[in-house]
């Protein structure tokens, strides 16, 4: 079964600094998508960034970028120039189409604190 | 285009009562997914539905839980005879189809069982 592991329950960063959140996953599929979601205190799930496994180029969205290492099954999120509004839970997720279904498998999350 | 709507946002039920959670997908979306988030946990897949069909309910407890997505109207997640362990946030997501890789999430329903 697919699993997603986030090994950092909590992280903190100074405002304007850079922080990297780790994520590893396990799968036997060759084609898949990976996502990072942000969940602020409002609990709304907000898509931050996505990566298609067949693309070698790492995805970038403004201050957010990923380091996708397919062979190592690693998908880390880098947040540059951290802002107070970045404080939230961050979830790594894997999209599987196994068995004719479609679902997201989430990690347990990393709580990010941004210090002024 | 309005986003995914869920209601109620908060629901309090006493043990043994029934809980009905509603999800209206985005316009044009025919695929609905339900996830549960226990305190301090990530989201866990429960069920995947298309209009009038359950495609995958492998994440849903066999007893007391059921889901539907009728031809007309919202998708409903129904929990009968709720217990304290059902207290969680329940999220609905929708997509226009499998070819669209992104699922759009609603704001969630926070169920509290007293």
Q: Which residues of A touch B93 (CB under 8 A)?
A: 45, 104
Q: Is residue A115 within 8 Å of residue A54, measured between CB atoms?
A: no
Instruction: Give the CATH number, domain containing residue A53.
Output: 2.60.40.10
| A103 to B89: CB separation less than 8 angstroms, yes or no | no
Q: Mean pLDDT throughout A76-91? A: 97
pLDDT of residue B1: 57
Residues 6+ apart with CB under 8 A from B60: B34, B46, B47, B66, B67
Q: Mean pLDDT throughout B81-102? A: 90
Q: Which residues of B touch A101 (CB under 8 A)?
A: 48, 55-56, 58
Question: Is it the case that residue B109 has pLDDT exceeding 80?
Answer: yes
User: H helices of chain B, where?
Assistant: none
If you measure CA to CA, which chain B residue comes closest to A91?
B42
Mean of pLDDT over chain B: 93
Neighbours of A52 (CB within 10 A): 15
Number of structural domains (chain A) is 1
Tokens linked to B96: 């226009």
Domain that holds residue A102: 3-115
User: Nearest CA of chain B to the CA of A1: how many Å?
Assistant: 13
Q: Mean pLDDT throughout B73-101? A: 92
Which residues make beta-bridge pairs with A112?
A11, A88
Backbone angles phi, psi at A85, to 5 degrees: -70, -5
Q: Which residues of B touch A93 (CB under 8 A)?
A: 43
End-to-end CA distance of chain A: 41
Which residues make beta-bridge pairs with B10?
B110
CA B10 to chain centre: 13
């Amino acid at each position: 079964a697919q699993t997603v592991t986030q090994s950092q329950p909590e992280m903190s960063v100074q405002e304007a600094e850079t922080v990297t959140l780790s994520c590893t996953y396990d799968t036997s599929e060759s084609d898949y998508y990976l996502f990072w979601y942000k969940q602020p205190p409002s609990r709304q799930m907000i898509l931050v960034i996505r990566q298609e496994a067949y693309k070698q180029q790492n995805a970038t969205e403004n201050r957010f970028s990923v380091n996708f290492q397919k062979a190592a099954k690693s998908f880390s999120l880098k947040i540059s120039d951290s802002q107070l509004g970045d404080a939230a839970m961050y979830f790594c997720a894997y999209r599987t189409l196994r068995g004719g279904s479609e679902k997201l498998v989430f990690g347990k999350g990393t709580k990010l604190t941004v210090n002024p | 285009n309005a986003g995914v709507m869920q209601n109620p946002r908060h629901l309090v039920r006493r043990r043994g009562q029934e809980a009905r959670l509603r999800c209206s997908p985005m316009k044009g979306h025919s695929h609905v997914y339900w996830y549960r988030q226990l305190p301090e946990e990530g989201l866990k897949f429960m069920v995947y539905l298309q209009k009038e069909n359950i495609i995958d309910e492998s994440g849903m407890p066999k007893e007391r839980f059921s889901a539907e997505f009728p031809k007309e109207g919202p998708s409903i997640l129904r929990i009968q005879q709720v217990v304290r362990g059902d207290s969680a946030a329940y999220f609905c997501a929708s997509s226009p189809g499998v070819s669209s890789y992104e699922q759009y999430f609603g704001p969630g329903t926070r169920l509290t069982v007293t």
